Each structure stands twice: as structure tokens, then as C-alpha cells.
Amino acid sequence: MGDLFEKAKNLGAKAAESAKDAGEIGKYKVEIQSKKSDINDEMVKIGQYMYSKYQDEGAEKTESAVLEHAKKIDDLNAAIKDLQDKIEAVKAD
């Protein structure tokens, strides 16, 4: 009877750990979606800026001004990679 109780206890512990992992993974996935949305916002800003710059000054003066937004996108992509690594780490546990 004790063996059955121990198996049930272990099963409950595994279920609790799985639920915790699923919650943590869910949190990371929400953060990833938020970062992807931020990337899209930066892409829109780049597009708006480039078009405005093109209209006002011509194409030759637009490149350096885009670097700020490109850097933000690089930073967001790095943050997404970190979150994806965390998800993989949680899954591996």
C-alpha cells in the first residue's frame, strides 16, 4: 500500500512540475510575441522614415538614419533568442 502511495505522490509531483514548466514556457512565449510586435513597430517606423526621407531629400541621405531602428531590431531579436533558449532549458529539465 505504501508503494502505491509513493507512486501517486511522485505522479502528483511530476504533474505539478509539468504545470509549472508550462506556465513558465507560456510566459516566455508571450514575451516573444511582444518582442515580435515591437520589431514590427520598428519596421513600420523605418518604412515611414525612409519614405519621408526619400520624398524630402532623396535616397542618398536615408541610410544612416535607419541605424537606430535597425539596432533596436537587433536587440529585440537577441532578446527573442534568449527567451527561446529559456524555453528549451525549461523543456530539458
Is a pLDDT exceeding 90 seen at residue 60? no
35 or 3, higher pLDDT = 35
Determine whether 35 is exposed, middle or buried from the number of CB atoms within 10 Å of its CB (0-12, 13-18, 19+).
buried
Model confidence at 41, in pLDDT bands (50, 70, 90)?
A: very high
Is a pLDDT exceeding 80 seen at residue 22? yes
C-alpha cell at 12: 502528483
Report domain extents, the chain.
2-92
Q: Inter-axis angle of helices 67-92 and 2-57, to 10 degrees?
A: 170
User: Of 24-28, 71-75, 80-84, which gets the smallest average pLDDT?
Assistant: 71-75
Number of H helices, E strands in the chain: 2, 0
For residue 46, what pLDDT is reported?
A: 84
Model confidence at 50, in pLDDT bands (50, 70, 90)?
A: confident
